Structure 1
């Protein structure tokens, strides 16, 4: 799976956030173990996790909004309110712009 196929909420994470998720998984979700691994306090790890959760949720919501726009364009083409060619052009342009901003 290429990076362009990854969900937005994953591809928008930086390497440090991805490493945090990896360590979280390896430690079976134990924040105590994670705090020990990072050599920081439990509240520090909890805060980092809370911020990561917020980031993921924001990007997930953005991804859902983007998917709904593409679905809306496709629906317009199916209902023949716009041509298939115009729908394809809109979706291609939208995806190009999205790739440039991510």
Structure 2
């Protein structure tokens, strides 16, 4: 496997996200059917799909970013940190890289 292949978004998604995508495909893209599979409401499954989409976007767009920056972006996309914290940590990390 080449270095470029290792950086493909689907190689970094994780089993939980891949399982969700598999179930989504098997449900023919029906969020209503997927909500039944997970026994949750439609808005809950829509939110989960939105998070998967954001994760894929980040992993695909930031292939050349450092692992730290990708992980930080993923945490922000998943709602695990607010925007102010995200931008502060990212700026500090980039400053540290410039000083090195």
TM range (shorter): 0.5 to 0.7
Structure 1 unpaired stretches of 5+: 67-102
Answer with 1 or 2: which has the greater Rg.
Answer: 1
Q: Provide the alpha-carbon RMSD of the alignment.
A: 1.9
Q: How many Å separate the matches in 1 of 2:48 and 2:6?
A: 23
Higher helix residue share: 1
3-state DSSP of counterpart to 2:40 = coil
3-state DSSP of counterpart to 1:19 = helix
Q: How many Å separate the matches in 2 of 1:25 and 1:58?
A: 21
Question: What is the match of residue 42 of structure 2?
Answer: 42
Deviation at 1:7, TM superposition (A): 5.0
Structure 2 unpaired stretches of 5+: 65-100
Q: How many Å separate the matches in 1 of 2:15 and 2:28?
A: 20
Deviation at 1:14, TM superposition (A): 1.3
